[in-house]
């Protein structure tokens, strides 16, 4: 696997969507390529932050709905 292939698969790996063969090839590449490993870690952090933000927004929406009901 080369760097271009690995970069295309980063999101799928983070989301757990790679089949076993591709998963092994991807992880072998990441283990041996510091550039891709760095980009992978940044992408993983970004996706994690987006997931947290999504949960936070959902909680705020729930609180807003409860408050609306209490006001009415």
68 vs 37: which has the higher pLDDT: 37
Average pLDDT over residues 43-61: 77
In percent, the amount of the chain with pLDDT more than 90 equals: 61
Q: Which of 26-40, 42-56, 57-71 has the highest mean pLDDT?
A: 26-40
What integer pLDDT is reported at residue 63 of this predicted model?
66
Specify the residue for token string 């271009």. Answer: 4
What integer pLDDT is reported at residue 67 of this predicted model?
64
Q: Could you say which DSSP state residue 15 is in?
A: T
| 11 vs 40: CA distance, rounded Å | 9
Average pLDDT over residues 15-44: 95
């Amino acid at each position: 696997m080369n760097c271009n292939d690995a970069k295309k698969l980063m999101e799928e790996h983070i989301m757990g969507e790679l089949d076993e063969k591709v998963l092994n090839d991807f992880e072998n590449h990441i283990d041996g390529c510091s550039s891709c490993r760095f980009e992978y870690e940044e992408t993983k952090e970004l996706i994690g932050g987006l997931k947290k933000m999504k949960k936070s927004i959902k909680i705020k929406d729930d609180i807003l709905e409860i408050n609306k009901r209490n006001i009415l």
